[in-house]
Amino acid sequence: MTLKEWLLTSLGYPTVNVELTDEQLNVAIHFALQNYLAYADLSSFEKIKIQNFYSGNNIVPINNDPPLPGEIIVDPDFLSYVIFGSSSQIFYDFEDWEKRLLMKTIFGNGGSISSNYALYLNTIGWFDDMTYLFGQTPTWRIYDRNNILLSPTPQRDGKLGIVFYNVQDFTEFEDNIIFKELALGKAMVILGEVYSKYGTLPSANGEISLKDLITRGEQKITEAINNLKSIQMFPGIFVE
Give the span between the Cα atoms of 176 and 170, in whole angstroms.
10
pLDDT reading at 239 higher than 90: no
In this structure, how many other beta carbons lie within 10 angstroms of the beta carbon of residue 127? 12
Average pLDDT of span 59-80 = 92
Q: What is the pLDDT of residue 172?
A: 84
The answer to whether residues 79 and 163 touch, using CB atoms and an 8 Å cutoff, is: yes
Which DSSP helix (H) or strand (E) runs through 57?
Answer: none
How many CA atoms lie within 13 Å of 58's alpha carbon, on the beta-carbon side? 14
Query: How would residue 52 be classed by pLDDT, with cut points 50, 70 and 90?
Result: very high
The answer to whether residues 180 and 170 touch, using CB atoms and an 8 Å cutoff, is: no
Instruction: Kindly give, in sequence order, each residue whose CB lies less than 8 Å from that of residue 72, ignoring residues fewer than 6 positions away.
Output: 47, 49
Give the span between the Cα atoms of 16 and 215, in whole angstroms.
19
Angle at 151 between CA 146 and CA 153, to 5 degrees: 95
Query: How would residue 107 be classed by pLDDT, with cut points 50, 70 and 90?
Result: very low
Instruction: Kindly give, in sequence order, each residue whose CB lies less than 8 Å from that of residue 212, ignoring residues fewer than 6 positions away.
Output: none
**What mean pLDDT is reported for the chain?**
77
The answer to whether residues 148 and 82 touch, using CB atoms and an 8 Å cutoff, is: yes
pLDDT digits (tens, 9 = 90+) for 201-213: 555 445 555 568 8
Task: Indicate the residue type of 207.
Answer: E
Give the span between the Cα atoms of 181 and 38, in whole angstroms.
15
pLDDT reading at 169 higher than 80: no
Long-range Cβ pairs for the range 129-134 (8 Å, 24+): 129/84, 129/85, 129/86, 129/90, 130/84, 132/86, 132/156, 133/84, 133/86, 133/158, 134/84
Q: What is the pLDDT of residue 133?
A: 63
